[in-house]
Structure 1
Amino acid sequence: MANILICDDHKPIRKMLEKIASENPFVSKVFVAEDGVEAVKVVQQEKIDIALLDIDMPNLNGIDAAKLINKISPDTKFVFITAHMEYAIDSFAVHPYNYLIKPIDITVLKDNLNEIVLSIMNSSKQPSISMITVKDKNNTLILPLKEIIFFEKVGKDTVVNTNKEEYVINKTLAELESKLNSNLLRVHQSFIVNINKIAKI
């Protein structure tokens, strides 16, 4: 899951970006700032994975804010959102993921968020287990995690879904969540999903 910082001095744009970010199932928290100074203060207090920054803002512009944020949090990914194309070269100083021109293409922005969040989750530390055991009639099978599409809580049971079969196991989603690798993500109280199997959000 990712934390996102939104920084723009125009309230309607902040609200729109906040709504888009909040709708992404892999975003855990959304923080909002009205200018670059506020944005830097947020990063000093919170872990920020993605920063969506306007550039032309009072007090501290988006590029200078990004430079300060990069020193505090080197792993933060930046997407600049601005009406001014002429700042593009200057923005390279912090190696932004993208540079979007207003009016914003909502589809492109959503795609960017999905790509960044998934890349963050894929780069997370991998835990030890790579397979689980499941029962199929009288047999016990060893099932690689990469073959699992999702786990689902159905009543009191936990169902493992693959392309070929469904298996019922005697572990709760909470027990599984603590042991599974970062490719299997709890996206809902009743689902753990293999993010490598996601074709569309």
Structure 2
Amino acid sequence: MYRIAICDDNPEYVDFLEEKIKSSKKYTDEMSISKYYSGTSFVESLDMTFNLVILDMQMENIDGLDAAFELRKHSEDTVIVFCTGEISPKPEHFNVNPFRYLLKSYSDDRLSQEIELALDKMISYQKDYSISIVSDGKFERISIDGILYVSRTKRGTLFNIYDYKTKEKHEIKCNQKLPEIYEALKDYCFEYGHNSYIINFSSVIRVSKEIIELKDGTVLNLSRSKRDIFVNRFAKYAGKNFKRGMR
């Protein structure tokens, strides 16, 4: 069973989104929808587990971002979609790892497409995405979601791993070269930020012209030669033209 929550202080828009979800070809009888009309009522319901949450960014008392922070205290796996009239996301929004931004000005067709993507993401999160690597002559499987970035070493690569539940970071040495690892991970939203490392977009909270900041506080240089490709791919991942926020 998949549990979906819609939270917006406009009841008519909540009903509209509910109908859009139910009319999607991705919607099945295994999905249930809960509706909330304030950030406060949503936060009070967090004893329940949700697989997908659509949050209005602008609500009184507890807004969408505050509600998302509370949600992340209970679940790292819930797919978060922000619904907003704003054009550009702010750096702090990426601390809660949102999947998409729905603009209320979207056409019906565009909104339907975005909802299908969100439902696809929700379903995919129930699967175990991992990569098999060779470490010290032995095969080891690593969860892709936990990888912050992979860096080049003299003898292979180094996986920098972050456990979002314990907030602990550790490293795993790998015998394979960085280009080989990149080929295995590029379709999972990894990209070169520098010739010496590839970065998991889901771990990024801020991008500027010269640096990339990750969720664990790590700051990496964004090389000039990799900047355009990295920013363009990250913009698509974030669902926005993030170049406008470059500074």
- Cα deviation per residue 1:131-190 (whole Å; 9 max; x = unaligned)? xxxxxxxxxxxxxxxxxxxxxxxxxxxxxxxxxxxxxxxxxxxxxxxxxxxxxxxxxxxx
Deviation per CA, 1:27-70: give whole Å up to 9, x if none.
521111111111111222x1111110010101111001100111
Match of 1:40 in 2: 43
Give me the CA root mean square deviation: 2.0
> How do residues 36-185 of structure 1 correspond to structure 2 at under 5 angstroms?
36-44=39-47, 46-104=48-106, 105-123=110-128
In 2, Cα distance between equivalents of 1:59 and 1:96: 21
Deviations 1:105-146 (A, max 9, x none): 32232222332133033339xxxxxxxxxxxxxxxxxxxxxx
Work out whether residues 5 and 33 of structure 2, in 8 Å CA contact, stay in contact via their aligned partners in 1: yes
Which 5+ residue runs of structure 1 have no aligned equivalent? 125-201
Name the amino acid aligned to 1:123.
Answer: D
SS for the counterpart of 1:65 is helix
The verdict on how the C-alpha distance between 1:112 and 1:88 changes in structure 2, with shifts beyond 3 A counting, is farther
How many residue pairs are counted as aligned between the two chains? 123
In structure 2, the gaps of 5 or more residues are: 130-247
Aligned equivalent of 2:20: 20
Q: Is the 8 Å Cα contact of residues 77 and 125 (structure 2) preserved in structure 1?
A: no
User: For residues 54-105 of structure 1, what are the alpha-carbon distances to aligned partners after superposition, in whole Å with 9 as ceiling and x for unaligned?
Assistant: 1010111100110011102222110001001244433111010111222233
From 16, 29, 34, the equivalent of 1:31 is: 34
Query: Structure 1: how far apart are the matches of 2:52 and 2:74?
Result: 13
| Distance (whole Å) between structure 2 residues aligned to residue 47 and residue 20 of structure 1 | 22
Task: Using structure 1 for the length normalisation, give the TM-score.
Answer: 0.55
Percent of aligned pairs with the same residue? 26
Instruction: Evaluate the alpha carbon distance shift between residue 21 and residue 66 of structure 1 in structure 2; reply closer, same or farther with a 3 A threshold.
Output: same
TM-score by length of 2: 0.46
**Post-superposition offset of 1:26:** 6.2
Q: Supply the distance in 2 between the matched residues of 1:41 and 1:117 (Cα, whole angstroms).
A: 22
In structure 1, what is the equivalent of residue 8 of structure 2?
Answer: 8
Displacement after TM superposition at 1:25 (Å): 1.2
